[in-house]
Amino acid sequence: MHRGLRFPTGLVSFGGRVRILGANRRLDTANRESRGYRELVNTLFSGSSVACRTKSRTEPLEGKDMDVAGRVCIVTGGANGIGRAICEKFIASGAAHVVVADLDGTAASRTAEDIGATAVTCDVACESEVADLIHGTFVQHGRVDVVVSNAGVTAKGGVEVPDEQWQWLWQVNLMAHVYAARAALPIMQGQGEGYLVQVASAAGILTEVGSAPYSVTKHAAVSLAEWLSIQYRRQGIRVSCLCPAGVATDFLDLDDPIHQFLHFSSKTTAEVADSVLEAMHEERFLILPHPEVGEFFAFKGEQYDRWLHNFSKLPEKIARKQRQEERVS
């Protein structure tokens, strides 16, 4: 890197030009034109509206049009809801084999029997069980092509939620994804390809005003998925992150005012599964079955403080609605 060029603390576009943020980070004309600066900006903003003053070559997004036909697929939390719908879509799309993994072994067996898959009882909060699931599938079928980390749990409340519940959500909503990646990546690296689908939530890129533990752990799941995508993309391993809002499953508690709101725009599990298959075919990272989530996410990035201000109104509105319902009843 050019002598005297300081790594910027931030890069922001104003009128299509890049400006550097941070105290004592001003760059003189020579540094601004340095090769290191150009490469940094062109790398970070390749394909965006932000352009470096000096022309550079940019690489096209890579893609092989991922097809699950003939693939060996594992889906955790696969007995019901979104997980079951994904298993059904995989089978319908010609997957060579689908493993339905779930804490509820009876439900997993029922789903597997219905769709022509294999059932495995697995507690995703336990690393040894996740490792056994993935390694056992590899031993039996000779490869593992797709791993969908779908199992998830929630708890209502804020920072007052007891530590044991925070830890429970941390284990299932985040560490289960870590365990699955830890076990699957060496196999996929040996194959030269593979696909990890991390099921997070719209709460992972926005928030869930009724649950701090859910919001925090789902944000962590999205962050992990981003890191995996960056780290392993060039090794032929693709990563997608599913971030749905309301989905018509038992996860929606219609006695909860927040979930009542989500119910109005809820998608069916089949619609969500279709979104997953479409994104995998396109090898697209972020899967948003609800278009409005993408709009909120863009607004958050463009006007973060305004977004926080607007969302801060929700708890008060929800509390007022609850008081009105209590008076009526």
CA distance 84 to 150: 10
Of 235, 144, 217, 233, nearest to 176 by C-alpha is: 217
Dihedrals φ, ψ of 237, to 5°?
A: -105, 120
**Burial per residue of 87-124, b for 16 or more beta-carbon CB atoms within 10 angstroms, e otherwise:** bbbbbebebebbbbbbbeeebbbbbbeebebbbbbbbb
CA distance 192 to 188: 6
**CB within 8 Å of 62: residues ≥ 6 apart:** 233, 283
Check 37, 214, 232, 304 and give the catalytic one.
Answer: 214
Q: Are 242 and 200 in contact (CB under 8 A)?
A: yes
DSSP run (H or E) holding 74 = strand 72-76
**Residue recorded with tokens 């799941």:** 221
179 is catalytic: no
Of 110, 56, 58, nearest to 80 by C-alpha is: 110
Q: Are 232 and 182 in contact (CB under 8 A)?
A: no
Structure token pair of residue 60:
């096209």
> How would you classify the pairing of strands 17-21 and 10-14?
antiparallel
Catalytic residue numbers, as ranges: 214
